[in-house]
Structure 1
């Protein structure tokens, strides 16, 4: 199954040589699931000509806010609505989670409660799922028809499903601990409060459920649709 990765940001230059860019991280996360990948750098205004060019679509994270005025935002929102209307499966991660909600009528804001950084525990239908996170923005009002399938006290809309059309997650299952640590050492300094980063460092190296979310993403892409 061919998945089009809609790249909306880039990993920091200083980390890219070792960790790769965001599409590389998703290719590693979803390896051995019967998926192949093609990247469209939509942040640089590289968009697919047709939603049927790929059999599924995945929107990456970004340092941009979904509510900010960047040239790629409005065309991406239009593409999201077209993908969903066509019934082509769509997955969004972090910024991808947010821009899909915004495109479908929800609200994304800079959360007054601050940042989520590093390992976070979420309730997925009674199961505790630990994933790395890196965000201040959140979906504060979900769109009509979106169902919450993952949450915690800090992030009410941490994972959403839109029927069999879209599955979105606020956290970063594609981020290994080494990359989160790299972000803390580069983008985090002077931006994320030091106590949050210190708390995140204490959980580096602990088990998480990224592989389980990878399985869920792959199952979502591959499940039969009428």
Structure 2
């Protein structure tokens, strides 16, 4: 967990962790949460206990130099070295790119807030291509930074008209998604309010984003759920 919880998220959704559980968890599984923003990390001897890891979004910069960010980079490199499944969402996607040797920067075209359609590459990994997904799929976006350069051996598997690296894979055990498959429009609208309160965006950007969001349909969360679950829990090839 790389994000700070708001009171609204706790009251309306049970917290950000529960939002992810509703998308990813299945009966019989045990999930643990480590709030890395607070310095909570799994011990090295516990890393093998988990089938996989999910790295969440955050209002912090993946190119930052806070201690917890450097500790997270170390954790991700350790997990890669033991071939653990890792799914990174938004900030998680970016920090994975950085940990593996890529480059993360503020986007030259500024914020992307709203619902954006991404296009999948024809070279999707077999496990994902077998899901018979449409070639283009809307997803909720809320980011200012982006993965500008991929790590060596990584592969772009989705792009949009704004962001060249919307999704990437690294081997068969790591996948990053720049958008938020776990978000609803309501969660995004709440996040816009938080961004204004923290002076991350100006009112004009917020007004335009809200108008655009209210006019759009909810993304196909079931398609994103199938994609994420299949990747995270499927066998290594």
State whether TM-score is above 0.5: yes
The Cα offsets for residues 5-31 of structure 1, whole Å up to 9 and x where unpaired, read as xx1112333443213332221101124
Q: Does the aligned pair in 2 maintain the 1:181–1:201 contact within 8 Å?
A: no
Q: Does the aligned pair in 1 maintain the 2:114–2:212 contact within 8 Å?
A: no
Counterpart of 1:4?
A: none
Q: Does the aligned pair in 2 maintain the 1:19–1:179 contact within 8 Å?
A: no
Compared CA separation, residues 121 and 193, structure 1 to 2 (3 A): farther
RMSD after superposition: 2.0
Which secondary structure state, in structure 2, belongs to the residue aligned with residue 179 of structure 1?
A: helix
Counterpart of 2:126?
A: none
Which of 25, 28, 34 is the equivalent residue of 2:22? 28
Counterpart of 1:180?
A: 188
Deviation at 1:125, TM superposition (A): 2.9
Which of 132, 138, 142 is the equivalent residue of 1:130? 138
Which of 124, 138, 142 is the equivalent residue of 2:150? 142
The Cα offsets for residues 66-125 of structure 1, whole Å up to 9 and x where unpaired, read as 111211111111110111110110000000000010011111111120111121110013
Which secondary structure state, in structure 2, belongs to the residue aligned with residue 130 of structure 1?
A: strand
Counterpart of 2:32?
A: 38
Counterpart of 1:108?
A: 104
Q: Does the aligned pair in 2 maintain the 1:60–1:92 contact within 8 Å?
A: yes
Compared CA separation, residues 207 and 178, structure 1 to 2 (3 A): closer
Which of 145, 157, 162 is the equivalent residue of 2:165? 157
Q: Distance in 2 between matches of 1:30 and 1:203?
A: 25
Please list, as runs of the form range in 1=range in 2, the aligned pairs for 1:55-94 lying within 5 A after superposition: 55-94=51-90
Counterpart of 2:226?
A: 215
Greater share of residues in strand:
1
Q: Distance in 1 between matches of 2:162 and 2:58?
A: 20
* Structure 2: gaps of 5 or more residues: 123-134
Q: Distance in 2 between matches of 1:180 and 1:37?
A: 25
Q: Distance in 2 between matches of 1:34 and 1:78?
A: 30
TM-score under structure 1 normalisation? Answer: 0.89
Deviation at 1:213, TM superposition (A): 1.7
Compared CA separation, residues 32 and 201, structure 1 to 2 (3 A): farther
Count of aligned residue pairs for this structure pair: 220
Compared CA separation, residues 44 and 195, structure 1 to 2 (3 A): closer
Q: Does the aligned pair in 2 maintain the 1:147–1:161 contact within 8 Å?
A: yes
Deviation at 1:184, TM superposition (A): 2.1
Compared CA separation, residues 187 and 199, structure 1 to 2 (3 A): closer
Q: Distance in 2 between matches of 1:94 and 1:47?
A: 20
TM-score under structure 2 normalisation? Answer: 0.85
Counterpart of 2:176?
A: 168
